[in-house]
Amino acid sequence: MKLSLAVGALLLVALGVGACSSDSEKAAESECQTAGPGFATCKGGWFHRTSAEQCTATPVSSCAQGCESHPSCGKPNAVCAPVGYGGCQCKTSCQTDAECAKGNICVCGDTSGFCVTASCTSDADCGTGLRCASYSSLSTCGGDISRFGVLMGGLACQTPEDECAGDGDCATGQRCTLGAGHRICADPLPCSS
């Protein structure tokens, strides 16, 4: 039985079935690695939420530009955290989704979790073979949270119409973001200060 399954799998690969042949196809599980409680990072510059888990990281501040320490933020659950390209800002940390507003989930990181816009809570919310995956922000002004190498726009279920899975699928300088209900490659917005 195992031999016939292996032969069948080899035949599918030889025929190109199940293999990624375009940028819009999703990464195979072998291209993703566990990245902490409930998350996996994937080749091409994106991550997905495998399950809703409690964050285990301890907030640590290492910023010199913007806020300098957690106490300087002056609010419960506030941490001085690196954000985007703009140094550090006071952000409300979380350990579980229950600590976030409706339409947000707690995305764990190395030093703390942060509430991020999401239309799904885990891969289980998405269709077969689709994931609750990150998409990038188009902002260049700082203030966005970076997680697992992605300048966070949020998380949403992948769709068959997606043109990209992550920034690595886009032309140099473009980002994979959400537009018209699916992921598209787009140029970052200019920062007007």
Is there a domain that residue 115 lies in?
A: yes
Cβ 151 vs Cβ 136: under 8 Å: yes
Is there a domain that residue 107 lies in?
A: yes
Is there a domain that residue 58 lies in?
A: yes
Taking only the tens place, the pLDDT of each residue in 13-64 is 333 333 333 333 444 445 888 887 888 988 888 889 999 999 876 655 556 6
Is there a domain that residue 193 lies in?
A: no
Sheet with strand 132-136: strands edge to edge: 32-34, 39-42, 46-49, 132-136, 150-157, 146-147
CA distance 41 to 140: 23
Is there a domain that residue 133 lies in?
A: yes
Confidence of residue 139 (pLDDT cuts 50, 70, 90): confident
Taking only the tens place, the pLDDT of each residue in 142-176 is 655 666 666 678 999 999 999 999 999 999 989 99
Is the pLDDT at 6 greater than 60, yes or no? no
Is there a domain that residue 96 lies in?
A: yes
Tally the domains of the chain. 1
Is there a domain that residue 50 lies in?
A: yes
Buried b (16+ CB within 10 A) or exposed e, 28-49: eeeebeebbbbbbbbbbbbbbb
pTM: 0.71
Domain that holds residue 147: 32-186
Is there a domain that residue 15 lies in?
A: no
Residue 76's alpha-carbon distances to 23, 123, 124, in angstroms, are 43, 31, 32
